[in-house]
Amino acid sequence: MKRAAVLMIEGYEESETMQITDLLRRAGVETHTFRFQEDPFVLSMQGMYVKADKVFSEEVRDYDVIIIPGGRNAWTNFINEPGVLDTIRWFNENGKLIAAMCSGTKVLKAAGVIEGKKMTGYTGYASVLEGAEFIEAPAVYDQNLITSVGPATPYPFAFKIMEALGIDPEPMKKRLLYAEAKGKN
């Protein structure tokens, strides 16, 4: 069974985080959310408290993909949290999957893992993500990096993660009526 680690830190974007977690779990991916505090309830960007599964630790490295959601203040909190950038670099050095959306892509830039890779990010991030080849698309998968624009794109983002994990997202798209809704990617 494939495993996904979704990071949650104060200020994370809850719709991105929870939709991605839900979709991956529905696809049969063992998905856990990781927090950076003892209290299991993490304060989101919109003021909601959502319970995370586990405390961030070396255990994250046992997962197949690490996922960094966005959030206006979350990306700076991730960058300032001990161990996050080193863990992302470790995933990159070991050829493991790294996924980020919206402002979470800035964390990848800070970790130094985007050079020469195709990626996307929030509107206007082409100059922020200098060093990568910025692509205007809802979600992009290149080498070991999966990126997405933001809150409107958790579905294409989750589908790209599934593809990268070797899971065909088409049956899920059909169950979710994704094609009938004219979903792209």
Q: Is residue 184 part of a domain?
A: no
Q: Is residue 70 part of a domain?
A: yes
pLDDT of residue 146: 98
Q: Is residue 92 part of a domain?
A: yes
Torsional class of 28: left (φ above 0), alpha (ψ -120 to 50), beta (otherwise): left
Q: Is residue 56 part of a domain?
A: yes
- What is the number of domains present in the chain? 1
Query: Contact 173/160 with Cβ under 8 angstroms?
Result: no
Q: Is residue 182 part of a domain?
A: no
pTM: 0.95
The secondary element (H helix, E strand) that includes residue 18 is helix 14-26
Query: Contact 85/104 with Cβ under 8 angstroms?
Result: no
pLDDT of residue 185: 59
pLDDT of residue 177: 76
Which domain covers residue 128, as residue numbers? 3-175
Q: Would you write out the chain's pLDDT as a tens digit for each of its 185 residues?
A: 999 999 999 999 998 999 999 999 999 999 999 999 999 999 999 999 999 999 999 999 999 999 999 998 999 999 999 999 999 999 999 999 999 999 999 999 999 999 999 999 998 899 999 999 999 999 999 999 999 998 889 999 999 999 999 999 999 998 887 767 666 65
Q: State the CATH number of the domain containing residue 104.
A: 3.40.50.880
Q: Is residue 132 part of a domain?
A: yes
